């Protein structure tokens, strides 16, 4: 029966139908729901690994064991997993292995908008690119066939608009797949002697894949009535071209984005007056065409910056497009904010008050950079807060001491903060590392991690004890604070900044959105006591506003955390009356 399915759920459906039985991933928008959906199939073992490198290596181990395996990640996650990626391209697989990578053009929830297609070329690994949910199922299944036929892991490239769009899928039954493990050191031990013999195998494989690409059904030619131009495209860009141009121009839709066919593209170019490449982000297909010596229109017309949208395609292809009414009105921006009751708020207020330099990291707490808290100095990538702080502090040793801290979440600390902390201890920098432990992976929508005591399936799991871990790597000063207690946060921060050795402060309170968290009654502002000083506004809580010169609490948002009442010198913000 036809079902409406999210692109990510469709990938999981493809995993199920293809007989995949092992999934290991690290959450990251827009890839997260693939693994969450896979975990709902009883036939699939699915786990959250501490990071993408671990996930990919685990999936590789599972494929060696003869089980079809999978790992999924966002584009920047593939940077973390790049090390195994390049070498498992050499070893190839036993049972099939598929790696999904989801790009985020437009940076809806990311720190850069890298184009992951370059990885396929660099790692010499085939990459398929679905354009809707039905293709996400079909291409996932095909990826396993190709993986086993050509003895290579296969990349499945998703993007925000494919991952987070629902379209129609017709589910099919699962077909089990499994094979025995056979020892093969020449293939699987990548020491120089063996790797030298594997590299030519990889090159031959790519040549064979180019031959496959020439006739592959997923590289589809669609006839058009007007040959004044022909368009090569893929993924969302294909959908936008069809939306704008319909069946007017011939289209070569590439479902396999690496390696690309050569003769097929030459023949297509020869059949049209002008070759146009429409693709999101970089000119990847365009570069391939130009390498073949074919003139084409590409990134000179379609920007490599931001998401491609239908209107841009229409404008550049000179197709008509009606626009809507424009309001002559300044509409204030509505940026994302820390939720009411967010435990990060009190901590960031304390950092701002103490005028510290703060190395930030990746998670909800990146919102600590936004006004009025504006308490962060850097955000680069997962784990960079701890290692960056070490360099910042170490480079200034012997000078006027810097008040500087790192701020990293529990899940991000597990992902890649630990190695930075080892460096802090081992090379002895006077760093103060703050772990904001909200007992969940927050930004991606509440995934479990090694510090939460639960696994992906919701079953009890080993729980890493952060205090013990920090002490074990050589940090002697480990403090725990409640971020709802501003005075305690302030005292402990001052003490640890003053200490002449590395230290860790664990700012611990569960995410206010977690279902098990019990909230206090909403606070009320007493208009007789409030003098309108706006001290409570300095914490940037979305539940408080100033109405007619006095503080007002929105009782549909307020969870009674009480941070604002600690800001108030006039006792105006107090627990509301019994409901």
Footprint on this chain of another protein (rule: CB under 8 A): 2-4, 29-30, 32-33, 108-109, 132, 160-162, 164-168, 236, 239-240, 242-243, 309-311, 321-339, 364, 367, 370-372, 443-445, 537, 540, 542, 544-546, 556
Nearest to another protein of 332, 460 (CB atom): 332
Min separation Cβ 368 and another protein, Å:
12
Nearest to another protein of 367, 561 (CB atom): 367
Nearest to another protein of 192, 332 (CB atom): 332
Min separation Cβ 387 and another protein, Å:
24
CB atoms closer than 10 angstroms to residue 291: 10
Q: How far apart are CA 14 and CA 324, in angstroms?
A: 39
Of the candidates 403, 356, 358, 360, the one whose C-alpha atom is nearest the C-alpha of residue 383 is 360
Min separation Cβ 108 and another protein, Å:
5
Min separation Cβ 547 and another protein, Å:
10
158, 30 Cβ separation under 8 angstroms = yes
Strand-strand pairing, 523-525 and 573-575: antiparallel
Min separation Cβ 364 and another protein, Å:
7
Of the candidates 567, 451, 443, 553, the one whose C-alpha atom is nearest the C-alpha of residue 508 is 451
Nearest to another protein of 28, 96 (CB atom): 28
Nearest to another protein of 292, 309 (CB atom): 309
Min separation Cβ 507 and another protein, Å:
19
Strand-strand pairing, 256-258 and 127-128: antiparallel
Rounded alpha-carbon distances, angstroms, from residue 38 to 25, 73, 143, 199, 284: 11, 14, 16, 34, 31
Q: How far apart are CA 33 and CA 35, in angstroms?
A: 5
Q: How far apart are CA 428 and CA 521, in angstroms?
A: 45
Sequence-ordered list of residues with C-beta below 8 angstroms from that of 191, at least 6 positions apart, any chain? none
Nearest to another protein of 181, 321 (CB atom): 321
Q: How far apart are CA 461 and CA 454, in angstroms?
A: 5
Nearest to another protein of 401, 542 (CB atom): 542
Tally the C-alpha atoms within 13 A of residue 77's C-alpha that lie toward its C-beta.
Answer: 30
Q: How far apart are CA 288 and CA 130, in angstroms?
A: 19
Min separation Cβ 527 and another protein, Å:
18
Nearest to another protein of 323, 500 (CB atom): 323
Min separation Cβ 442 and another protein, Å:
9
Q: How far apart are CA 163 and CA 29, in angstroms?
A: 9
């Amino acid at each position: 029966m036809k079902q409406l399915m999210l692109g990510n759920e469709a990938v999981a459906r493809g995993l199920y139908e293809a007989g995949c039985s092992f999934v290991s991933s690290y959450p990251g928008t827009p890839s997260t729901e693939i693994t969450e959906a896979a975990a709902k199939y009883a036939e699939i073992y699915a786990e959250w690994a501490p990071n993408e490198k671990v996930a990919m290596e685990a999936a590789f181990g599972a494929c060696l064991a003869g089980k079809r395996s999978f790992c999924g990640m966002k584009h920047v996650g593939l940077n973390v997993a790049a090390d195994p990626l390049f070498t498992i391209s050499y070893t190839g697989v036993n049972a099939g292995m598929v790696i999904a990578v989801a790009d985020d053009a437009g940076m809806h929830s990311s720190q850069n908008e890298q184009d992951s297609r370059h990885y396929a070329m660099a790692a010499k690994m085939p990459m398929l690119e679905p354009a809707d949910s039905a293709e996400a199922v079909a291409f996932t299944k095909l990826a396993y066939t190709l993986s086993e036929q050509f003895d290579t892991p296969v990349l499945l490239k998703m993007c925000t608009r494919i991952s987070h769009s629902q379209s129609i899928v017709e589910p099919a039954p699962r077909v089990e797949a499994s094979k025995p493990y056979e020892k093969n050191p020449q293939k699987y031990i990548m020491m120089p002697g063996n790797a030298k013999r594997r590299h030519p195998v990889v090159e031959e494989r790519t040549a064979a894949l180019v031959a496959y690409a020439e006739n592959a059904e997923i590289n589809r030619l669609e006839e058009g009535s007007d040959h004044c131009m022909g368009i090569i495209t893929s993924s969302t860009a294909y959908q936008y071209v069809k939306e704008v141009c319909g069946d007017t121009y011939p289209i070569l839709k590439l479902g396999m984005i690496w390696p690309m066919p050569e003769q097929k593209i030459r023949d297509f170019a020869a059949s049209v007056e002008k070759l146009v490449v429409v693709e999101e982000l970089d000119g990847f297909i365009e570069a391939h065409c130009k390498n073949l010596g074919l003139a084409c229109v590409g990134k000179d017309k379609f920007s490599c910056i931001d998401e491609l949208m239908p209107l841009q395609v229409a404008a550049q292809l000179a197709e008509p497009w009606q626009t809507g009414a424009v309001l002559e009105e300044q509409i204030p921006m509505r940026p994302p904010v820390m939720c009411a009751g967010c435990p990060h708020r009190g901590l960031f207020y304390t950092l701002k008050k103490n005028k510290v330099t703060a190395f930030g990291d990746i998670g909800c707490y990146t919102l600590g950079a936004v006004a009025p808290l504006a308490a962060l100095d850097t955000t680069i990538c997962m784990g960079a807060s701890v290692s960056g702080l070490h360099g910042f502090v170490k480079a200034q040793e012997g000078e006027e001491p810097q008040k500087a801290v790192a701020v990293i979440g529990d899940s991000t600390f597990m992902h890649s903060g630990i190695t930075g902390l080892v460096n802090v201890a081992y090379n002895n920098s006077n760093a103060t590392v703050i772990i904001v432990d909200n007992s969940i992976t927050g930004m991606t929508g509440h995934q479990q991690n090694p510090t939460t005591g639960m696994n992906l399936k919701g079953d009890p799991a080993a729980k890493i004890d952060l205090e013990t871990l920090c002490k074990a790597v050589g940090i002697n000063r480990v403090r725990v604070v409640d971020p709802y207690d501003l005075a305690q946060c302030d005292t402990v921060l001052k003490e640890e900044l003053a200490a002449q050795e590395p230290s860790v402060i664990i700012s611990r309170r569960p995410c206010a959105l977690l279902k098990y968290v019990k909230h206090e009654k909403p606070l009320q502002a007493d208009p007789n006591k409030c003098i309108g000083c706006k001290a409570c506004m300095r914490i940037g809580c979305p539940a408080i506003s100033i109405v007619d010169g006095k503080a007002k609490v929105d009782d549909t948002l307020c969870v009674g955390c009480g941070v604002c009442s600690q800001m108030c010198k006039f006792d105006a913000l107090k627990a509301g009356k019994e409901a």
